[in-house]
C-alpha cells in the first residue's frame, strides 16, 4: 500500500469546496492542521498520517539521540546556544472553522506581564463545531502564553562518535 493513514481524534467536515478545485493533498493538509497531527511521506515513499494522540506516545515520545560529548551521544562542535525569548509567545488565539464563528481566547496574566504579543490565528479549520475551535484556541494559549527556553543553535559533528554517525 502507498498509504498509512491513521484515524484522527477529531471529527472533520467533508470537503467544503468542489472536488474539482480541491486537491487530495490540500484537503489532507487541512485535516492535518485541524487534527494537530502529522502528514508526511516516509523515507520509503508511503504517505503517512499520524493523529495528535499518537504523536505523544511511544515511539514518538522517546528521544532518538542525546547531544553531548560522552560515548553514545551525538557530538557537537560548539556548545548549544540557549535563549529565553518571545519568538513563540502567543497570549491570544483566534480560531475559526469553515462555516463557523470566530472563537477567541486569551491569557490575562500573560497579557498583564508581556502585553498582547502576536495573535495565533488559525482559520479554515475543518472541525465540526465551534466548541472544538474554542478548545483549540484554549490549547494554543495554554502552550504558548509564556516564554520557553529553547535551543537557538547547535552545530552537530556527525563524524564524532562512530556509534551515532549518520549512515
At residue 123, does pLDDT exceed 90?
A: yes
Model confidence pLDDT, tens digit, residues 139-151:
999 999 999 998 8
What percentage of the chain carries pLDDT values higher than 90? 53
Most confident residue range from 8-17, 65-74, 86-95: 86-95
**Predicted local confidence at residue 93, as pLDDT:** 98
The answer to whether the predicted template modeling score (pTM) of the entire model surpasses 0.95 is no
Q: How confident is the model at residue 15 (pLDDT cuts 50, 70, 90)?
A: confident
**Predicted local confidence at residue 160, as pLDDT:** 63
Query: Rounded distance, CA 65 to CA 74, Å?
Result: 7
* 164 and 72 Cβ atoms separated by less than 8 Å: yes
- Ranges of beta strands (E only) in 34-144 are 38-41, 47-50, 76-85, 92-97, 103-106, 119-125
Q: How confident is the model at residue 157 (pLDDT cuts 50, 70, 90)?
A: confident
At residue 69, does pLDDT exceed 70?
A: yes
Q: Which residues contact 46 (CB under 8 A, 6 or more apart)?
A: 1, 2, 3, 4
- Rounded to an integer, the average pLDDT of 66-94 is 86
Residue among 98, 101, 151 at smallest CA distance from 126: 98
Cα–chain center distance at 148: 16
Q: How confident is the model at residue 38 (pLDDT cuts 50, 70, 90)?
A: very high
Amino acid at each position: 500500500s502507498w498509504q498509512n493513514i491513521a484515524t484522527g481524534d477529531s471529527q472533520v467536515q467533508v470537503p467544503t469546496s468542489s472536488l474539482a478545485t480541491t486537491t487530495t493533498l490540500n484537503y489532507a493538509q487541512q485535516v492535518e492542521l485541524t487534527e494537530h497531527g502529522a502528514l508526511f511521506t516516509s523515507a520509503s515513499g508511503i504517505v503517512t498520517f499520524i493523529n495528535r494522540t499518537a504523536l505523544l506516545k511511544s515511539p514518538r515520545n522517546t528521544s532518538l539521540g542525546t547531544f553531548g560529548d560522552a560515548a553514545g551521544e551525538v557530538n557537537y562542535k560548539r556548545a548549544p546556544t540557549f535563549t529565553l525569548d518571545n519568538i513563540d509567545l502567543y497570549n491570544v488565539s483566534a480560531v475559526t472553522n469553515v462555516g463557523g464563528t470566530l472563537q477567541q481566547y486569551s491569557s490575562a496574566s500573560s497579557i498583564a506581564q508581556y502585553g498582547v504579543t502576536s495573535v495565533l490565528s488559525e482559520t479554515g479549520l475543518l472541525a465540526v463545531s465551534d466548541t472544538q475551535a474554542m478548545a483549540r484556541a484554549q490549547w494554543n494559549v495554554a502552550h504558548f502564553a509564556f516564554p520557553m527556553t529553547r535551543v537557538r543553535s547547535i552545530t552537530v559533528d556527525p563524524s564524532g562518535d562512530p556509534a551515532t554517525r549518520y549512515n
